[in-house]
């Protein structure tokens, strides 16, 4: 079973996760103060304040980063070079491979690409390539 750990403030990441889990049946866990990971998995978050990692995500990573296989971020292309940059920052700071970035709640193409990346390129506990970004 693949586990997804996500942070969503405006609902964009939540909508993305809902579509992914409907298609795949994967297990999704919303990040909160009491979430403790029992199974390693993949992190999906958002970019806030024109290029920052959300505080909830940072707090989660402080104790759980070693159990995260990859990171994906939602963003807004209007932010230019800061589009989805939370994923870049997490990848660099916590040595977690970057899976992909998507805009807002993602298109069906984004969802299918995410599923393909997680299933076929990075679905085990070994952190191989530093970067997985094909988006």
Residue 90 · residue 100 · CB < 8 Å: no
Domains of the chain with bracketed CATH: 3-121 (3.40.50.360)
Give the orientation angle of helix 12-24 with respect to helix 108-116, to 10 degrees. 60
pLDDT confidence bin for 17, thresholds 50/70/90: very high
Any residues with CB less than 8 A from the CB of 49 and at least 6 apart, and which?
none
- Over residues 41-93, the pLDDT tens digits come to 999 999 998 889 999 999 999 989 999 999 999 999 988 899 999 999 999 99
pLDDT confidence bin for 34, thresholds 50/70/90: confident
pTM value is: 0.88
């Amino acid at each position: 079973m693949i586990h997804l750990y996500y942070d969503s403030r405006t609902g964009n990441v939540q909508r993305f996760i809902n579509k992914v889990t409907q298609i795949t049946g994967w297990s999704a866990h919303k990040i909160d103060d009491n979430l403790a990971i029992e199974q390693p998995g993949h992190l999906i978050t958002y970019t806030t304040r024109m290029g920052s990692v959300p505080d909830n995500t940072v707090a989660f990573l402080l104790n759980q980063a070693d159990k995260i296989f990859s990171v994906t971020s939602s963003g807004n292309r209007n932010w230019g070079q800061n589009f989805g940059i939370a994923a870049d920052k997490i990848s660099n700071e916590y040595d977690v491979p970057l899976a992909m970035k998507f805009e807002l709640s993602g298109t069906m193409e984004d969802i299918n690409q995410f599923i393909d990346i997680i299933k076929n390129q990075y679905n085990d506990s070994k952190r191989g390539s530093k970067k997985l970004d094909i988006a």
